[in-house]
Amino acid sequence: MRIGILTGGGDCPGLNAVIRAIVRKGEWVYGDELIGFLDGWRGVLEQSTKPLSVESMRGTLPRGGTVLGSSRTNPYKVEGGPEDAKRAIAELSLDALIAIGGEDTLGVGNRLYGDGVPVVGVPKTIDNDLSGTELTFGFDTAVQICTDAIDRLHTTAESHDRVMVVEVMGRHAGHIALWSGIAGGATVTLIPEEPFDIDDVCASIKRRHARGRYASIVVVAEGASPKAGTLELVSGEMDEFGHVRLGGIGNLLADEIEARTGYDTRVTALGHVQRGGTPTAFDRVLATRYGIAAIDTVHDGDFGKMVALQCGEIVRVSLSEAVGTLKEVDPAVYEVAKSFFS
Ligand code: F6P
């Protein structure tokens, strides 16, 4: 078979491990020809490709990023985009397309599948907010990076008896904040699913400080927001999928905490450091399992599906189920975090 592969949306560690696994089993076991599209759906629209082979993928397992490049191009926002995408599949004589991406990339894949394009999806998002799967690869790496950063911030915060606000990724869901907040022993963790009350946040910090010279760590997901009518948030520009560029809640929060408590407060926005570098061993294994499952799914002719992790097993779910709703944090796990709020 001739099979196209693309990586779309924000990158995350483990993308190359997925591609490598698809290519390894595709070329060596099934005798496939693998073609990579450059820069996500943009590469499909422009028919910009590069051949992929076992040889060309050597050494990429531990490398972050994606050898194919990525973009947030949405063919459904480009005049004639869906037709150009279908034409590319036909003109390149592709028998299948494997799309590695999150809600947006796979949402496009699902619509094209509805239009007759044989698509299989692989779940990717650093935010871990894709439905149908318990985990996306890259998330474990991001949580480890944030936890390491929080551990480091603890020691400097303690030296100066400061409040440290740590802003982490998580546009619509607070999985990274929640996991790294619990792992890093945060005083308060704020997530998009539950708008926060700045009075409660400051009261927690004051209670902790009243007990002695204890510094505080506040972990905040970039998409967390104050309760309506409390603090004003300025929003940024939108991308082609209608998402606002975030970043800024950490600074707002730090300013308010310092003004309201009088405690010296600093902010660290971890930003894209969370998406960079080598994947953890866990993410390399998960990504490899997804890649192998994806090429098998293609050869079973089981299109319109996304490979997924459920109860430790790799399964297949429909693309429409995966992109239907976002997976928010489990309230029971957030309650665990709250047990440690001062
Ligand atoms: O892909 C998800 C994500 O990492 C979000 O957590 C974040 O808001 C966004 O991407 C950042 O996007 P960009 O890389 O385009 O700045």
Pocket perturbation via mutation, ligand 1, pick of 7, 70, 124, 126 by most ligand atoms within 8 A of CB? 126
What is the overall mean pLDDT for the chain?
A: 95
Residues 271 and 304 in one domain: no
Residue nearest ligand 1's atom 8 by CA? 171
Query: Ligand 1: which atom is nearest the Cα of residue 102?
Result: 1
Whole-number Å distance, alpha carbon 214 to ligand 1 midpoint, is: 33
Cα 10 to ligand 1 centroid, rounded to whole Å = 5
Residues 32 and 45 in one domain: yes
Judge if 312 and 255 occupy the same domain: no
**Domain presence at residue 114:** yes
Which pair of tokens denotes residue 67? Answer: 């050898």
User: How confident is the model at residue 247, as a pLDDT?
Assistant: 62
Q: Is residue 172 part of a domain?
A: yes
Tokens of 109: 């894949």
In a domain, 330, yes or no: no
Check if 151 is active-site.
Answer: no
Q: Which residues contact 74 (CB under 8 A, 6 or more apart)?
A: 41, 81, 104, 108, 240, 241
186 close to 218: Cβ distance less than 8 angstroms = yes
Residue bearing the CA closest to ligand 1, atom 2: 10
HSE at residue 260, side-chain half, CA atoms within 13 A, is: 18
Check pLDDT > 70 for residue 90.
Answer: yes
In the sheet with 188-190, reading across from the earlier edge strand, the strands are 188-190, 216-221, 163-168, 265-269
List, chain by chain if needed, residues with CB within 6 Å of any ligand 1 atom. 9-10, 125-127, 169-171, 222, 246, 275
Together in a domain, 196 and 171: yes
* pLDDT tens figures, 239-291: 777 777 666 899 999 999 999 999 999 999 999 999 999 999 999 999 999 99
Which amino acid is residue 122, in one-letter code?
Answer: V
The CATH number of the domain holding residue 71 is: 3.40.50.450
What CATH number does residue 191 fall under? 3.40.50.460
Same domain, 122 and 207: no
Residues 163 and 242 in one domain: yes
Statement to judge: residues 268 and 299 lie in one domain? no
Reference 179, options 146, 153, 152, 149; nearest CA is 146
pLDDT tens profile 120-157 = 999 999 999 999 999 999 999 999 999 999 999 999 99
Q: Is the pLDDT of residue 236 over 70?
A: no
Per the structure, the count of domains in the chain is 2
Domain that holds residue 170: 139-276
The answer to whether residues 29 and 155 belong to one domain is no
Same domain? 47 vs 6: yes
